[in-house]
C-alpha cells in the first residue's frame, strides 16, 4: 500500500520517517498468519486455500516461492493464502495531566509521545498491519479500533492532532479494563510516563500478558525528571492532584532521586519478569533516534 505524509499532520515528520523506513514493527508470537513476509504464523499443520501469487520480497520464507512460475517467468513469486492475515496493534497513549510537563527547549511528554505514536502508526500502515489508537487519563477517552489503509492512518493522525492533556491517571485500573476489552491477541504499545503506584501499574501490565498480548512499554520522561537539577526548590506541586510538598531543598532532591530510582527499578524489573519490552525515552533525544534504535535492537535479537 502507499502511505503519504501531509504537511498538515505535525506529528508525521517526513525526514524522520525516511530514516525509519527500513525498520519494521514485529511481534513475537501474536500473529495469526503472515503478510508480505513480515510475520510468521504460530499455527502449524492447518489447511489453507491458495488464493494468488504475489511478487517475492526479501524476508519471505523461501518455502513459499513457486518455482514453477519462476521457470516460466524468470522472476520470483510466492503463493499467498486465504488464511494470511496482518498483525493487530493497539497504541495506548497516556494523555493525563502530568504528560504536559516540559522543560526549556524540550517537547512536552505528550508531544514527544505523540510523535512516537504517529511514527509507529505510519510504519505499521506501511507494512500492511492493522493499527488502532486509544488515549487515556483516568479512563479511556478515545478509542479507534485497529484497521488497515491510508484512510485509517489519517483518522489516527486527526486524533493525535486534537489530543490535549486531561485529568489525573489511574494506570492499574485502566490497563485492567483494556486488557479485558482487547479480545484477540495483539501487539500492545503503551506510551506513558507511568507515574502511578508501581504495584497497580505492574498488575495492569501483567494482565495484558495474561491475555497473551505482546507488550511494549515506552516510558517517556523529561530529563529534568530524571536528574532534578533544581538546587533551590523547597516546594513542589503535583500536576495531576494539585497537592503541594515542602522540604529543605537538598533533602527534597535526595529523597526524590531515591524514590525515583526505586520506582524505575521496580518498573524495569517487573516488565522483565513478565517478558514485557521496556524502553525509557527522554524528551531531549530525537524521537526518531530513540525509536530507530529500539526497533533495530528488537529486530536484531530475533523477536519475530
CATH, residue 232: 3.40.50.410
Rounded to the nearest 5°, which phi and psi values hold at 280? -95, 125
Question: How many domains is the chain partitioned into structurally?
Answer: 2
What is the average pLDDT across 30-53? 45
User: Distance (Å, rounded) from C-alpha 102 to C-alpha 105?
Assistant: 8
Same domain, 73 and 117: no
On whether residue 3 sits in a domain, the answer given is no
Among the listed ranges 48-52, 127-131, 287-291, which one has the minimum average pLDDT value? Answer: 48-52
Does 183 or 117 have the greater pLDDT score?
117
Does 38 or 202 have the greater pLDDT score?
202
| pLDDT band (50, 70, 90) for residue 76 | confident
User: Distance (Å, rounded) from C-alpha 166 to C-alpha 84?
Assistant: 40
On whether residue 32 sits in a domain, the answer given is no
Query: Residues 6 or more apart from 283 whose CB is under 8 A from it?
Result: 102, 106, 107, 108, 109, 112, 220, 221, 222, 223
pTM over 0.85: no
> Which residue is associated with the grid cell 518455502?
63
What is the average pLDDT across 144-172? 92
Determine the pLDDT at residue 28: 63
What is the average pLDDT across 115-130? 93
Same domain, 223 and 131: yes
On whether residue 45 sits in a domain, the answer given is no
User: In which domain, by residue range, is 191 found?
Assistant: 14-25+85-300
Same domain, 90 and 119: yes
User: Distance (Å, rounded) from C-alpha 76 to C-alpha 80?
Assistant: 13
Is 130 a residue whose pLDDT tops 70?
yes
Same domain, 74 and 20: no
On whether residue 203 sits in a domain, the answer given is yes
Among the listed ranges 6-15, 244-253, 255-264, which one has the minimum average pLDDT value? Answer: 244-253
Same domain, 185 and 164: yes
Same domain, 216 and 284: yes
Question: Quick one: cell of 76?
Answer: 520470483
On whether residue 286 sits in a domain, the answer given is yes
Is 275 a residue whose pLDDT tops 90?
yes
Same domain, 172 and 77: no
User: Distance (Å, rounded) from C-alpha 143 to C-alpha 44?
Assistant: 33
On whether residue 183 sits in a domain, the answer given is yes
Phi-psi region of 194 (alpha: psi -120 to 50; beta: other; left: phi over 0): left
Among the listed ranges 99-103, 171-175, 248-252, which one has the minimum average pLDDT value? Answer: 248-252
What is the average pLDDT across 167-180? 92
Same domain, 145 and 291: yes
Amino acid at each position: 500500500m502507499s502511505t503519504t505524509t501531509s504537511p498538515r499532520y505535525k506529528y508525521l515528520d517526513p525526514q524522520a520517517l525516511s530514516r525509519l523506513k527500513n525498520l519494521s514493527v514485529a511481534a513475537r508470537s501474536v500473529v495469526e498468519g503472515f503478510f508480505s513476509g513480515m510475520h510468521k504464523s504460530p499455527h502449524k499443520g492447518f489447511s489453507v486455500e491458495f488464493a494468488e501469487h504475489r511478487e517475492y520480497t526479501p524476508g519471505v520464507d523461501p518455502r513459499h516461492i513457486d518455482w514453477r512460475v519462476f521457470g516460466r517467468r524468470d522472476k520470483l513469486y510466492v503463493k499467498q493464502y486465504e488464511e494470511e492475515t496482518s498483525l493487530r496493534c493497539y497504541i495506548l497513549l497516556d494523555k493525563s495531566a502530568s504528560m504536559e510537563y516540559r522543560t526549556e527547549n524540550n517537547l512536552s511528554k505528550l508531544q514527544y509521545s505523540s510523535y512516537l505514536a504517529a511514527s509507529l502508526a505510519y510504519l505499521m500502515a506501511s507494512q500492511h498491519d492493522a493499527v488502532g489508537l486509544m488515549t487515556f487519563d483516568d479512563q479511556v477517552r478515545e478509542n479507534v479500533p485497529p484497521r488497515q489503509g491510508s484512510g485509517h492512518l489519517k483518522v489516527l493522525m486527526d486524533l493525535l492532532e486534537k489530543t490535549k492533556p486531561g485529568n489525573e491517571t489511574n494506570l492499574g485500573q485502566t490497563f485492567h479494563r483494556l486488557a479485558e476489552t482487547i479480545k484477540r491477541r495483539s501487539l500492545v504499545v503503551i506510551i506513558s510516563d507511568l507515574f502511578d503506584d508501581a504495584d497497580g501499574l505492574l498488575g495492569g501490565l501483567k494482565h495484558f500478558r495474561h491475555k497473551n498480548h505482546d507488550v511494549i512499554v515506552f516510558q517517556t520522561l523529561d530529563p529534568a525528571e530524571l536528574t532534578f537539577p533544581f538546587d533551590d526548590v523547597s516546594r513542589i506541586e503535583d500536576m495531576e492532584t494539585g497537592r503541594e510538598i515542602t522540604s529543605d531543598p537538598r533533602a527534597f532532591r535526595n529523597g526524590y532521586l531515591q524514590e525515583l530510582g526505586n520506582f524505575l527499578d521496580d518498573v524495569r524489573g517487573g516488565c522483565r519478569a513478565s517478558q514485557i519490552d521496556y524502553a525509557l525515552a527522554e524528551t531531549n533525544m530525537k524521537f526518531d533516534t530513540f525509536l530507530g534504535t529500539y526497533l533495530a535492537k528488537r529486530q536484531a535479537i530475533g523477536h519475530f
